[in-house]
Each structure stands twice: as C-alpha cells, then as structure tokens.
C-alpha cells in the first residue's frame, strides 16, 4: 500500500496479492474481497467522519463482483444456480447481457446491494475492532509513504500476537 499517487486520478494505491495461483474462488473468498474493497470507504467513515470520491474505483469493482456472484456464479440464496447474465465477447471487453425480466433485474439490484452492504458492514466492524492498528499503520505510511504486507503484519502482530493470519 502506498499514499503516493501511482496512477492518474488515484491518491494512493492498494494492491491485493493472491496467495499463489488460484483458479477457483469460493463464495466466502469473493465476499471477503468485496469487504476489502469497501475498507477504504469504511475507514473514511469511521476515522475521518466523512466520505470522499477516493473509493470510486473500489465501489465499481465491488459492484461488478457482487453482480457476478448473483447473476453468473450461482452464489445467491434467492436465485441459486440460475444463470441470469451472460458474458459476450469475453476476450474483447466482455460486455454482459441480462437474461431475465425487468422485475428480476430490479430484484438482482436489491440482492447486489444487500451483498455490498453486508461486506461494507464487515469492513466497518473489522476496522472498529482494530483502531490502534489503523492508527499505527497510518503513522507508518505518513512517515515512510509505502508499507509492504510484511511491514503491516509486523504492526498487526503487536496487537494480535496469538494468530496474525486469522483476523476477524
């Protein structure tokens, strides 16, 4: 993670590193990824008492992922394994087409919103539980401008030494 702008329009950058080659992702993995994407906004809300445009790309990615979970991956209690969307020209941009009624499309939007809200609340809960870690990591970033996963884990272990891999 860095607080140095690395791309046009970004005021900082967080890169999620996968643990090796992963072809299949579970519903829990995808939900946790959405929670991670909502973490920046959650931190703004909790620590700065405001929201900014900084989370716009994360919001877009979280929405796309939640929509795919509901419409293409069969990861919705409401729709089970019903295919509601298909990807056209996967190698040329991958635009999608919904295969459902207008009423179902509205319900899909509600299901996507529910998933994102639950993930956002998970992010808020995690941040709330670990405010001292957030403050120390923020101080580190202000001083060094960039923090690696290893450096962050060192900070985290100060507060959660028993099992740093399982933060809940």
Handedness of CA 147, 167, 164, 129 (dihedral sign): positive
pLDDT of 96 reads 84
Q: Where are the beta strands (DSSP E) in 68-149?
A: 85-87, 96-98
Q: Which residues of the chain have pLDDT under 70?
A: 1-22, 90, 93, 161-168
pTM above 0.85, yes or no: no
Q: What's the CA dihedral at 8, 10, 14, 17 to 10 degrees? A: -30
Contact 124, 44 (CB under 8 A): no
Give percent above pLDDT 70 in the chain: 81
Q: CB neighbours of 80 closer than 8 A, spacing ≥ 6?
A: 74
Burial of 102 from C-beta contacts in 10 A (0-12 / 13-18 / 19+): exposed
pLDDT in tens, 17-48: 566 666 799 999 999 999 999 999 999 999 99
Q: Phi and psi for 146 in degrees, rounded to 5?
A: -140, 145
């Amino acid at each position: 993670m860095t607080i140095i702008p690395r791309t046009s329009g970004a005021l900082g950058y967080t890169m999620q590193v996968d643990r090796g080659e992963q072809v299949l992702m579970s519903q829990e993995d995808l939900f946790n990824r959405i929670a991670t994407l909502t973490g920046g906004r959650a931190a703004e809300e909790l620590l700065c008492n405001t929201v900014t445009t900084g989370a716009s790309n994360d919001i877009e990615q979280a929405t796309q992922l939640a929509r795919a979970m509901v419409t293409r991956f069969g990861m919705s209690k409401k729709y089970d394994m019903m295919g509601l969307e298909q990807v056209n020209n996967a190698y040329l941009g991958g635009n999608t087409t919904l295969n459902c009624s207008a009423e179902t499309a509205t319900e899909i939007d509600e299901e996507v919103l529910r998933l994102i809200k639950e993930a956002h609340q998970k992010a808020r809960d995690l941040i709330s539980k670990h405010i001292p870690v957030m403050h120390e990591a923020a101080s580190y970033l202000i001083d060094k401008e960039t923090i690696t996963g290893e450096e962050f884990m060192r900070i985290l272990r100060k507060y959660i030494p028993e099992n740093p891999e399982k933060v809940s």
